[in-house]
Amino acid sequence: MIKYLSILFVFANCSFILFAQKPININFNVPENIPAGTEINASIVINKQDISGFAKLELYLPVGFVSKVIASAGATIIYKGQLLKFIWIELPVEQRISINISFTVDYRLSGYKEIYGNFYYIEQKKRIKFPVGVIPFNVINSNIKKNENNLYNSNIDKIILPNKNIQQNIVYRVQIAANKKKISKKIIEEIYSDNSTIYEELINGLYKYTIGNFTTKSDAEAFRVNCGVNGAYTVTYENGNRVIYK
């Protein structure tokens, strides 16, 4: 039976106004002992009270942990090495946000590990930062040999976008976000920040954001798979106009 370690972080944000805000609390539930080479589930509950608008949760995972988000509470998910980001352009209206994640643990891992991170939101045009704290646990591996428990990030090929000025009848882009309201450049850069040209279009009442001018669909698909934006997809443009399939 797996024993879970539930850690509650409570933060009271007192400001120079008449009424102080209610405390925010973040409950991170993860097994206390995790067998190497297995997949485990963890849950996060954020009691955000009356916070609204943009917010971001960043989690830094140990090397050798591969994450898969099961339930995101409507957030855009960004996978970037060992950094896992949840970005809400607009937070859900519910006071409690529930997130579920599965972690695949490399069979070579062993010993003490930890996850840490921060939760951010905007209040009165200022970014407020709350540390999630350190979530400790142990990876159990009875078969590992001494000095074999060091893992390093593998080299990842840099994603190179094609020439943005390319002239061609049909090109392909990768859509990374869509929203009813315009998304600021700062928030878009939270979703994808690789110094690339990002296109904004208003289509059927939604502002849509795309990257690239790929000459082949296979190149666009390769970029989509590796860009780290969960839910990104490839779209086609013909003579500068988006092709909408019915």
Q: What is the overall mean pLDDT for the chain?
A: 78
> pLDDT band for position 86 (50/70/90)?
very high
Examine the domain organization and report whether 41 and 134 are in the same domain: yes
146 domain-assigned: no
157 domain-assigned: no
Q: Name the residue range of residue 212's domain.
A: 170-242
154 domain-assigned: no
Q: Can you tell me the distance from the alpha carbon of 26 to that of 159, in angstroms, rounded to the nearest whole number?
A: 35
> pLDDT band for position 241 (50/70/90)?
confident
What is the count of structural domains for the chain?
2
232 domain-assigned: yes
Examine the domain organization and report whether 85 and 181 are in the same domain: no
* pLDDT at residue 174 greater than cutoff 50: yes
Q: Which residues pair with 128 in a beta bridge?
A: 121
Better pLDDT: 165 or 127: 127
In Å, how far are 22, 49, 88, 97, 154 from 93, measured between CA atoms? 16, 9, 12, 9, 40
Q: What is the pLDDT of residue 73?
A: 92
Examine the domain organization and report whether 127 and 178 are in the same domain: no
> pLDDT band for position 177 (50/70/90)?
confident
Examine the domain organization and report whether 214 and 131 are in the same domain: no
Q: Is the pTM of this model over 0.75?
A: no
Residue where a domain stops, chosen among 94, 125, 140: 140
| CATH number of the domain residue 29 falls in | 2.60.40.740
Examine the domain organization and report whether 8 and 130 are in the same domain: yes
Q: What is the pLDDT of residue 167?
A: 58
Examine the domain organization and report whether 130 and 178 are in the same domain: no
Examine the domain organization and report whether 106 and 184 are in the same domain: no
Contact, 205 vs 142, CB < 8 A?
no
Residue where a domain stops, chosen among 121, 140, 159: 140
